[in-house]
A and B are shown apart, each in its own frame.
Chain A
Amino acid sequence: MKAIRRGLSSGLVQAFLVLIGLVWLTPLAGLFMSSLRTSEDSASSGWWTAFTSPGQLSFDNYAALLKNAGITQAFWNTVLISVPATTLVVVLAALAGYAFAWLDFPGREAVFLLVVALLVVPVQIGLLPVAKLFGELGLFGTIPGVVLFHVAYGLPFAVFLLRNYFAEMPKEMLEAARMDGGSEWRIFTRLVLPVGRPAIASLAIFQFLWVWNDMLVALLFADPSSQPLTVELQSQIRQFGSNIDVLAPGAFVSLVVPLVVFFAFQRHFVQGVMAGSVK
């Protein structure tokens, strides 16, 4: 009797979770199916009708996307923004994180507490003043400007994460290396960076996704020639419906890269997002 009840309840649990899983999958499936249909089809019927008439589906939209200069330019801009913004954050935060963890300088504790306080500062508060500053420096509307903004707002979390990770290293290890006469630079590159690899990987993935997926910062700081995919697509959203043959495949392309990163580096990804969620 008890076994039957347990079997029944586990069946219910399974059914419930399958239902939830389907609900979660449907929006993504809808986007993908929509990206394979003509805008006429999308205007007259739902994407699920393609299950019964698969003749609607073709990769023509993607082929057209490849020829769409605005979209391809925006895709490269996204890469040109995301890669340097990630690299710079990792390098600068690793340097600073090591110093905060193991080097002695005046005001170390106080400055680090300030960094901790900056963790939750909303990006919004920086938009206006930095726009003015970049305007004076000639960085407004350029890729380096977008990159610098992302780096600055990525740093508090990055420094926090790496400082805490580096601080866990055994003291003896560093002292032994110093006794051997290694310079701080040598210790940093030969010892600290390799030991810190897991944290650095999580950080890099988190930062990459953050920048790749950003719209707000680029919306303000990028001009039409330097804008990433998110901004290019949002500028077309006003005519939503008529241009679904561009929006749907465009959105799908923009999310394929993060999804690949997600499935390739699941563990680091989850850890990075978990650690970075304080942002």
Chain B
Amino acid sequence: MTATLVKETSPPGTGLVERARRSRRRARIVALLFVFPALLLLGALVVYPVLFSIGRSFFDASGTRFVGGDNYTEMFRDPATLKAIRNTAIWVVVAPALLTGLGLILAVLVEKVRWATAFKLLLFMPMAVSFLAAGIIFRLAYDEDPHKGVLNAAVVGVHDAFKGTSQYPTARARTGFGLAKEGDGSYRTDAGVQPGGSVSLGLVGVAPKDLPEGARPAYPAAQRKAAADEVRGVVYLDFTPGGGGVQGKVDRRESGLPEMRVEAVRDGRTVADATTAADGSFRFTGLEPGSYTVKLPASNFAQPYQGVSWLGPALVTPAIIGAYVWIWTGFAMVLIGAGLSTLPRDALEAARMDGANEWQIFRRITVPLLAPVLTVVFVTLLINVMKVFDLVYIIAPGDVQEDATVLATQMWLVSFGGGNNQGLGSALGVLLLLLVVPAMVFNVRRFRGSQR
């Protein structure tokens, strides 16, 4: 009876358990079907390669001989990889700090203008541009010729605005005609001249087409007599167009050289200076009696300033970092700006009421409150900077590539770009991975923290 009862009641019971178990198993199979494609790709193309690379880094170039840690010691001995490690260190030290600072300043300032949104959009725009396109853009901008590269055009423009340009870089004096060249590139008359006297300073080496516009013949001025307390003279081009004329003499058709700086020197001291007029004439007035020499300072003959060699070996890394800053500043600014908008308005207002100035507010309140956001920006950039590849690969011209090389480009060169040492290449890859391990741990910790 009881047996039948049990028998009768048990089937539905076990059925329920059975069905629940079966449906749970079904749910698990469904779940696995959902994750399987992603995990397959991750396993085959990410996890397996990491393990493979770690293993491979302990073998030699061809992969047949186990060499232990040799590839890792080689890394710090080989000048090329050592250079890469050094350059990556420069990137890591400079770029994230620079960008975070710039982003912070701009984020604070942009709050003060009405067109903040447009500005943010403009600065964020380079984030959409590929490193390749950015590389081409900056290859153009960094062109060394100031007639082609916009950066050197600006640098030369600023330089010339402050220091002036020389008109006659090619001009020189014939030897034996009264002018002697000094060690610093200036010219000086051989013989002294007394007040009341005059001099004619003939130069050659200026093509008639290079004469400044408005230059006039020097002959009339050369005929004028000097007063008792002055020295007069002309600076002229000692070359008669079409031939003829006498060397060392101002002929009728010879042109004056305008805008030339001239100095009167007595006992080694410059006592007067003048600039030549359109006909090349100049005069020093109010001179005390005595013997003077007339000097054409070297600045008249200076070579034109050619700007900076941005992509030369010395500056190539800072130049590429400049391009990187162009790309990432918007990112730093927008992220910090988002943090800024969550700051408690009352704290800022209260500080203002207490008479704090903007700098104090920035220094004592804004920055400390923003510290978490600044850390995130800084760490993100740090991780990115370690892996920088395309920009260096594109911007550094072929012959300075080895001066600009960083870990990622070196890893590429060693493994695929002719080096063909896949053992060392793998070791460099593993080094890159090791560098981001702290970030990995940080991410995992933060995620686990957020789940509790």
Complex CA gap A277/B394 in Å reads 22
A77-107 Cβ-contact flags toward B at 8 Å (1 or 0): 0000000000000001101101110011110
Contact B129 A213 (CB under 8 A): yes
Contact B429 A128 (CB under 8 A): yes
Residue from B31, B49, B110 within 8 A of A130 (CB atoms) = B49
Contact B52 A129 (CB under 8 A): yes
Any chain A CB within 8 A of the CB of B123? yes
Residue from A31, A114, A215, A270 within 8 A of B390 (CB atoms) = A215
Any chain B CB within 8 A of the CB of A153? yes
Residues of A within 8 A of B131 (CB): 213, 215
Given A24-B123, A31-B133, is A45 in contact with B147 using a C-beta cutoff of 8 Å? yes
Interface residues of A, Cβ cutoff 8 Å to B? 10, 13-14, 16-17, 20-21, 24-28, 30-31, 34, 42-48, 92-93, 95-96, 98-100, 103-106, 111, 113-130, 133, 148-149, 151-153, 155-156, 159, 184-185, 188, 209, 212-216, 220, 230, 233-234, 237-238, 240, 244, 247-248, 251-252, 254-255, 258-259, 261-262, 266, 269-270, 273-274, 277-278
Task: Give chain B nearest CB distance to A254 CB in angstroms.
Answer: 6
Task: Give chain A nearest CB distance to B392 CB in angstroms.
Answer: 11
Binds A, one of B161-169, B230-238, B289-297, B433-441: B433-441
A-B CB contact pairs (8 Å), 23 listed: A14-B113, A17-B109, A17-B119, A21-B122, A25-B122, A27-B150, A113-B448, A117-B443, A120-B436, A122-B386, A125-B430, A125-B432, A127-B416, A130-B45, A155-B41, A213-B132, A215-B390, A230-B132, A233-B136, A258-B129, A259-B128, A261-B128, A277-B384
Residues of A within 8 A of B149 (CB): 46
Contact A21 B128 (CB under 8 A): no
Apart from A96-B38, A215-B393, A251-B136: 5 A-B pairs, beta carbons within 8 A: A21-B123, A119-B440, A124-B389, A125-B433, A127-B415
Residue from B44, B52, B106, B148 within 8 A of A45 (CB atoms) = B148
Contact B113 A255 (CB under 8 A): no
Contact B30 A17 (CB under 8 A): no
Residue from B46, B123, B136, B140 within 8 A of A118 (CB atoms) = B46
Within 8 A of A (CB), among B120-140: 121-140
Contact B334 A270 (CB under 8 A): yes
Contact B50 A125 (CB under 8 A): yes
Given A128-B422, A274-B335, is A28 in contact with B411 using a C-beta cutoff of 8 Å? no
Chain A interface, DSSP helix/strand/loop, else mixed: helix
Task: Give chain A nearest CB distance to B395 CB in angstroms.
Answer: 10
B378-391 Cβ-contact flags toward A at 8 Å (1 or 0): 00100110110110
Residues of B within 8 A of A14 (CB): 113
Residues of B within 8 A of A128 (CB): 49, 52-53, 56, 415, 422, 425-426, 429
Given A13-B113, A25-B122, A156-B46, is A234 in contact with B132 using a C-beta cutoff of 8 Å? yes
Contact B133 A254 (CB under 8 A): yes
Contact B47 A96 (CB under 8 A): no
Contact A92 B38 (CB under 8 A): yes
In order of increasing CB-CB distance, the 5 nearest A-B pairs are A213-B130, A152-B45, A103-B31, A129-B49, A99-B34
B45-87 Cβ-contact flags toward A at 8 Å (1 or 0): 1111110110010000000000000000000000000000000
